[in-house]
C-alpha cells in the first residue's frame, strides 16, 4: 500500500523507534533513519525520500541547519519537511516554517496526529488543484477569474482576503507564519503588519461563516487550514 519513502532524523533512540514503529504499523514500509544531521543530509541526497521528519534538537549539525541545507539543495528542496519539536522550541518552529518546512509536531506526540500529518503531506497538493481551480470541501477558488465560491455562493472578498484563502486552500494542513502570509499578499501599496494579518483573518472567517472555523490559529506560530475536515 504505502510505499512512499520517509526519512526520519532523530537522535534519541526511543523516539526514533517509536516513530518508525508507528509509521510501519500504518503501512509505511520504506523508512530510513538517521541519528544526526550529517547522516540525515547524506541519506536525503542518497534516497531522495518523499517526506522528511526532522528533529530540531540534534547534536552536531542542528535541525534548523539541516532544514536550511535541504531547502538549498537542488534535489532536496521540494521534499516536504515536518519538524519534530519540544514545546519550548516555538521560536525555532517559526524560523523553520519560514525556511520552508511544512509543518511541525510537538513531542510527546500523539500517534494518530503523527500519521494524520504524515498523510497530509504525502497526499500531495496536486489532487485537488487542477489548472486555475482549487477545490476544497465546498470551496471553489478560481485564480483566473479571481472568484471564490462557497457551496455555490460567490464570496465578496478583498484581494488580500482572496490571496490568503487561496494560499491556505492550496495547502490544507500546512502551517503558515504571519510573515509568510504577508509576503504572499505584498504588492498592494500599503505596509502590511502582523496585526493586519490577524484582522484580515478575522474578516475572512466572518465572511466564510461556519466554514471559517476551519482556519485554525496555531498559537504563537500562525495559521493553517484544517486538513481533511
Nearest CA to 31 among 41, 19, 39? 19
Closest CB to Ca ion among residues 57, 122:
57
Closest CB to Ca ion among residues 6, 84:
84
Residue 61 neighbours by CB under 8 Å, 6+ apart: 36, 37, 38, 41, 69
Rg of the chain over CA atoms, in angstroms? 18
Contacting range for Ca ion; rule: CB under 5 A; set: 6-14, 176-184, 190-198, 206-214: 6-14
Binding mask 128-167 for Ca ion (x = CB under 5 A): ----------------------------------------
Closest CB to Ca ion among residues 40, 172:
40
Closest CB to Ca ion among residues 82, 208:
82
Task: Count Cα atoms within 13 angstroms, Cβ side, for 134.
Answer: 19
Determine the Cα–Cα distance for residues 227 and 220; give it in Å rounded to an integer. Answer: 20
Binding mask 165-184 for Ca ion (x = CB under 5 A): --------------------
Closest CB to Ca ion among residues 37, 222:
37
Determine the Cα–Cα distance for residues 158 and 174; give it in Å rounded to an integer. Answer: 23
Determine the Cα–Cα distance for residues 89 and 124; give it in Å rounded to an integer. Answer: 27
By the 10 Å C-beta count (0-12 exposed, 13-18 middle, 19+ buried), 72 is classed as: exposed
Out of 11, 35, 50, 161, which residue is the one contacting Ca ion (CB under 5 A)? 11
Instruction: Report the relative pairing of strands 51-55 and 81-85 from DSSP bridges.
Output: parallel
Q: How far is the CB of 12 from Ca ion (least distance, A)?
A: 5
Closest CB to Ca ion among residues 62, 198:
62
Q: How far is the CB of 84 from Ca ion (least distance, A)?
A: 8
Q: How far is the CB of 13 from Ca ion (least distance, A)?
A: 10
Q: How far is the CB of 3 from Ca ion (least distance, A)?
A: 28
Element (H, E) at 15: helix 13-25
Residues 44-73 close enough to bind Ca ion by CB under 5 A: 55, 57
> For binding to Ca ion (CB under 5 A), which residues are involved?
11, 55, 57
Amino acid at each position: 500500500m504505502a510505499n512512499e519513502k520517509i526519512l526520519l532524523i532523530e537522535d534519541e533512540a526511543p523516539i526514533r523507534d517509536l516513530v518508525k514503529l508507528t509509521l510501519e504499523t500504518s503501512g509505511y514500509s520504506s523508512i530510513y533513519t538517521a541519528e544526526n544531521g550529517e547522516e540525515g543530509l547524506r541519506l536525503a541526497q542518497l534516497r531522495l525520500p518523499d517526506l522528511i521528519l526532522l528533529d530540531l534538537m540534534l547534536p552536531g549539525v542542528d535541525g534548523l541547519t539541516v532544514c536550511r541545507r535541504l531547502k538549498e539543495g537542488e534535489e532536496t528542496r521540494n521534499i516536504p519537511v515536518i519538524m519534530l519539536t519540544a514545546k519550548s522550541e516555538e521560536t525555532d518552529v517559526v524560523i523553520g516554517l519560514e525556511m520552508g518546512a511544512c509543518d511541525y509536531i510537538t513531542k510527546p506526540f500523539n500517534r494518530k496526529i503523527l500519521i494524520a500529518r504524515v498523510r497530509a503531506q504525502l497526499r500531495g497538493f496536486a489532487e485537488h488543484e487542477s489548472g486555475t481551480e482549487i477545490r476544497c470541501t465546498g470551496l471553489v477558488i478560481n485564480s483566473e477569474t479571481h472568484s471564490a465560491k462557497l457551496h455555490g455562493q460567490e464570496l465578496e472578498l478583498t484581494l488580500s482576503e482572496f490571496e490568503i484563502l487561496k494560499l491556505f486552500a492550496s495547502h490544507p494542513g500546512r502551517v503558515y507564519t504571519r510573515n509568510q502570509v504577508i509576503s504572499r499578499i505584498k504588492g498592494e501599496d500599503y505596509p502590511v503588519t502582523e496585526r493586519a494579518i490577524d484582522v484580515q483573518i478575522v474578516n475572512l472567517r466572518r465572511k466564510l461563516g461556519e466554514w471559517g472555523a476551519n482556519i485554525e490559529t496555531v498559537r504563537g506560530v500562525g495559521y493553517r487550514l484544517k486538513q481533511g475536515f
